[in-house]
Amino acid sequence: MTTINLAGRFGTDISSRRTASMFRAEVVASIKSGASPVTLDFAGIESVSDSFLDELVGVTVKELGTTWFHDNVRVVNLSADDRESLLRVINQRLSKLASVAPSKASRAQRVAT
């Protein structure tokens, strides 16, 4: 099990989609090499943008699925407001897939718990 403190890694205010994309690739590679589960610890984060959350979590859920994410990634110490943002971006990503797989959109709540 690996825990990554995002504040220690990126600072207390995170907003770059590009940074999230590179970090997502690193997290997924780490999991695929056996470091599962990975815990993303948001302790100390004062603000995180929807674009960062979308690129890090929304894209991962879209590409690898809610079950894979739930089995391999833990999200902890996310503020209530940022948790709402996370659920919103997941739902937005999954709603785009709803015409192909309607049941995926209803799984967003499970991903963020």
What tens digit of pLDDT does each residue of 26-76 get? 999 999 998 889 999 999 999 999 999 999 999 999 999 999 999 999 999
What would the pLDDT profile of 73-103 be if each residue is shown by its tens digit? 999 999 999 999 999 999 998 887 765 554 5
Q: Global pTM? A: 0.83
Taking alpha carbons only, the member of 68, 65, 28 closest to residue 40 is 28
Is pLDDT at 106 greater than 60 in this prediction?
A: no
Domain enclosing residue 22, as ranges: 2-111
Decide if pLDDT at 105 tops 50: no
What one-character DSSP code corresponds to residue 57? Answer: I
CA dihedral over 82, 67, 34, 16, signed as positive or negative? negative
* C-beta separation of 48 from 15 below 8 A: yes
pLDDT of the residue at 60: 95
Total tally of structural domains belonging to the chain: 1
